[in-house]
Structure 1
Amino acid sequence: MKSLLRAREFWLACVIVVLGLGVSTRSEGFLAPASLANIFNDTSILIMLALGQMVVILTRSIDLSMAANLALSGMLVALINVAFPGMPVPLLMLTAAAFGAALGAFNGILVWKLDIPPIVVTLGTLTIYRGMIYVIAGGSWVNAHQMTDAFKAVPRTEVLGITLLSWIAVIVVLGFYLLMTRTPLGRSFYATGINPTAATYAGIDVGRTRFIGFCIAGMVSGLAGYLWIARYAVAYVDVAGGFELNIIAACVIGGISIAGGTGTAVGAVLGALFLGVVNNALPVIGISPFWQMAISGSAILLAVVFNSRGERQRGRIILKQADTP
C-alpha cells in the first residue's frame, strides 16, 4: 500500500479522476461511458506518440521530429492511396509504419555514429521532413474526396462500441508495457538512461540502444501518420504542427524524467490522458481553448518540479544509507 501511495502514476490517476468529477458538476454527461470513449478516442494518437517518445527520453535523448515524421508519413500514404486506390489499407498502414521507422533510423544513425546531440539532430530533421512534404506533394493538399472510403474508414469503424483507432491504441499500449517490463531491450533502455557508463560495462551497446529507441519512435509516428490523415481526411504540410510539444508534455506530466532512466508506460498513458481530459473539459467549463497551451505549460513546470524533488530525495536517502556503518 505504501509503495502505491508513493507511485506518481497513482496520484496522477487521482488528479484525472478529480478533474473529471469536477467537470461533471458543470456537465452531467461528461463522465458518461460514451463521453469517456470519445475522450480516449481523441487522445489515442497522442497516447501512442507519447509512448514512442518515452522510449527515446529514457535513453537520455529526445525526438523533436515525431510530429513532422507523422505529417510526412501521412502525406506519403495519402498520395499512394490516390495513385493506387486499390492497394489494401493494411498494406498502407505497414508502409506508413516502415517509412516512419526509416525516418527514425535516420535520426538514430546521426546520434549514434556521428555523436551529434539528439536535440540538434531532431531539430534539423524536423525542418527537413516538413520540407520533404512540399517536395513530394508539390505544395498541394490531399482532400477527403480524393481518398478512398476504405482509406478513411479504419479510424471510424466501431468494434464493440469502440472505434478501431482506440483499439489500435490499446494494442500499442499493451505492446509497450510488455516491452518495457518483460524484455531485455526494455531493461536496456532504463540502464542506458540511468548510467550509460555502467550500462556499457554490463555489455549494453548504448549507441545501438538509442538507435533502436529512435526507430521505435519513428515507427509509431508513421503509424500515427496514417491514422491522423485517415481520421481527419486531409493531408497538408502543417498537419500536427507544434504537436511535438504535446507529446513531450504528456511524457513529462506522466513522470518521464528528461534526465533519462525514469518513467513507465503507464505514466506516459496517464500524462496523455490528463491532457486529453483538460482539452475536452475547457469548452465544458467555459474556458477559452486559447488557454490550452498555458495550462499545458503550467502542468509541465509542476511536473518538472515534482520530478526534480523526487530525484533529490532519492539521492539524499542513498547518501544517508552510505554513511551508516
Structure 2
Amino acid sequence: MTATEVAVRTYKPHARPAWRRALLTRETAIVVILVLVVVVSLATVPNFDSPLTATYLLRDVAPILLIALPMTLIIVTEEIDLSVASIVGLASVVTGLLTQAGLPFPLAALAAVLVGTLAGAFNGFLVTVVGLPSLAVTIGTLALFRGIAVGLLGTTAITDFPESWTDLAKANIPGTPIPVVMILFAILAVVFAVLLHFTPYGRSLYAIGLNKDAAAFSGIDVARTKFQLFVLSGAVSGFAGVYFTLLYSNARGDNAMGMELQIIAAVLLGGVSIFGGRGALHGVIAGVLLIGTLGSALRLAGISSDIINVITGLLLIASVVSTSLLAWLQTRRFGALSRRRRPGDDRRPQPAPQ
C-alpha cells in the first residue's frame, strides 16, 4: 500500500450517532423503568415515601446487590451459578454454630467467608477441571450445600449474636435512610465496574463469552479465569451470608431460600445475555433495584408474596426472551444491510489520481 493510498483511506461513519449508541440501550431502558416505578409508587402506594421504606428496601436488596456483582461476571462468560443462595445459608449456619461455640464473632465470620470460598472453588473445580456444565453442577451443589446447612443445624435457629455487630448491620449512614452496608457495596461496585469495563481482564471475560475457543487461541486461560470467578462468587456469597445472619439475627439452614432466582432475574433483566459476551454492571444494579422496588411497592399495596414471586418469574422469562429476540432482530437487520451493500463496497481503496 502506497503513502497516497493511506492518505485517502476513509472509514464509514457509525449508523447511529454517539448519543444514541450511549443512551438507546437496554441498560438505559431499565434505569428509565426503575425511575418510572419509583415515581408511580410514590404517587399511588401508601407509605412508600417513608424513609423507613427506603431503609428496609435497601437492607433487603443488599445481599442480592452484593452477589449480583460476581454473578454478572460469571454470566458474561456464558456460565451460571445457581448455588449462591445455598452458600448464603451454609455461611449463615457456620457463623451461628461457631459463635454459639464461643468463637469471637470476627473469626466466626471469617470462617464463614472461607467456607463460601471453598464452596465456590468446588464449583469451579467441577466446571473447569472436570469439564461439567455449570448449570448441572450448580443445580447439584445447590441441593448439596443446602442439605449440609440443614443437616448441621437441623430445624433449630441460632439467634444469639453480639449486639454491637447486629446493630452495625442494621445501622444507617448518619442523617440518611441509607444502610451502612451500602458504602461497602458502592466500593465493590466501583471495583467490579473498573475490572469488567476498563481492564484487559474484563475484556477477556467478554471474549470468553463470545467464543471461548477463539479466546483460548488468543492466549486467554479460559479455565483459570472461570475458576477464579466461581471462587469469587463463593467468597461474596459467604460474606452475604454473614450479613444476612446479622441483619435478621437469625442463623438457619433455610436462610435465603430462593434468592438465586431474584439474583439471576435481576442480572438478566439488567441486560446481561444468558448466552454470554454482553452486559453492563450499571444495568444489573438497576435491575436489582427495579425488582426490589417493585416487590416493596406490591407488598405495601397488599399483594401476597406468591404473586410477587410469579411476577419475578415472569420478569426472568421476559429477560431471556427479549435478549434472544433483540439478537434475532439485530441479525436480520445486519443481514438486510449486507444484501443492500453495493458490489464495490468491499474493494480496496484506489490510489488518488496524480
Fold match (TM-score > 0.5): yes
Structure 2 residue aligned with 1:45: 63
Letter in 1 for 2:163: D
Deviation at 1:31, TM superposition (A): 4.0
Aligned length: 321
- Structure 1 residue 311 and structure 2 residue 327: aligned? yes
Matches of 1:39 and 1:45, distance apart in 2:
11
Check conservation: 2:269, 2:315, Cα contact below 8 A. Answer: yes
Check conservation: 1:26, 1:285, Cα contact below 8 A. Answer: no
Moved more, 289-298 or 28-37: 28-37
- Structure 1 residue 194 and structure 2 residue 173: aligned? no
1:207 aligned to 217, 223, 227, which one? 223
- Structure 1 residue 274 and structure 2 residue 297: aligned? no
Structure 2 residue aligned with 1:177: 193
Q: Structure 1 residues 3, 92: closer, same or farther in 2, change over 3 A?
A: farther
Deviation at 1:64, TM superposition (A): 0.9
Kindly provide the CA deviation profile for residues 142-161 of structure 1, in whole angstroms up to 9, marking residues without a partner as x: 432x2221332331123333
Matches of 2:28 and 2:50, distance apart in 1:
22
**Would you identify which runs of 4 or more consecutive aligned residues in structure 1 move more than 6 Å?**
none
Check conservation: 2:46, 2:301, Cα contact below 8 A. Answer: no
Q: Structure 2 unaligned segments of length 5 or more: list them.
A: 1-18, 346-354
2:158 aligned to 143, 146, 149, which one? 143
1:76 aligned to 94, 97, 103, which one? 94
Matches of 2:157 and 2:47, distance apart in 1:
36
Matches of 1:296 and 1:154, distance apart in 2:
30
Structure 2 residue aligned with 1:10: 28
Deviation at 1:108, TM superposition (A): 0.4
Structure 1 residue aligned with 2:9: none
SS in 2 for 1:30: coil
Structure 2 residue aligned with 1:159: 173
Write the mapping of 1:286-325 to structure 2, written as runs, cut at 5 A.
Answer: 286-320=302-336, 324=341, 325=345
Q: Percent identity?
A: 31
Matches of 1:96 and 1:297, distance apart in 2:
30
Letter in 1 for 2:114: A
Matches of 1:204 and 1:319, distance apart in 2:
31
Structure 2 residue aligned with 1:96: 112
Letter in 2 for 1:36: A
Matches of 2:47 and 2:147, distance apart in 1:
43
Q: Structure 1 residues 300, 238: closer, same or farther in 2, change over 3 A?
A: same
Matches of 1:123 and 1:298, distance apart in 2:
21
Kindly provide the CA deviation profile for residues 239-295 of structure 1, in whole angstroms up to 9, marking residues without a partner as x: 111111111111111111110111111111111111101110013333233211111
TM-score of the aligned structures, taking structure 1 as reference length: 0.91
Moved more, 182-191 or 212-221: 182-191
Q: Structure 1 unaligned segments of length 5 or more: list them.
A: none
Q: Structure 1 residues 150, 79: closer, same or farther in 2, change over 3 A?
A: farther
1:19 aligned to 17, 37, 50, which one? 37
SS in 2 for 1:25: helix
Matches of 1:183 and 1:94, distance apart in 2:
29
2:267 aligned to 241, 244, 251, which one? 251
Deviation at 1:81, TM superposition (A): 1.6
Check conservation: 2:47, 2:300, Cα contact below 8 A. Answer: no
Check conservation: 1:192, 1:209, Cα contact below 8 A. Answer: no
Q: Structure 1 residues 289, 88: closer, same or farther in 2, change over 3 A?
A: closer
TM-score of the aligned structures, taking structure 2 as reference length: 0.84
Deviation at 1:82, TM superposition (A): 1.8
- Structure 1 residue 218 and structure 2 residue 223: aligned? no
Check conservation: 2:82, 2:260, Cα contact below 8 A. Answer: yes
Instruction: Report which of the two has the higher share of helix.
Output: 1
Kindly provide the CA deviation profile for residues 109-156 of structure 1, in whole angstroms up to 9, marking residues without a partner as x: 11111111111111111111112123433x153432x22213323311
Kindly provide the CA deviation profile for residues 15-40 of structure 1, in whole angstroms up to 9, marking residues without a partner as x: 11111111222236524555434322
Matches of 1:239 and 1:169, distance apart in 2:
21
Structure 1 residue aligned with 2:277: 261
Matches of 1:126 and 1:198, distance apart in 2:
31
Larger Rg: 2
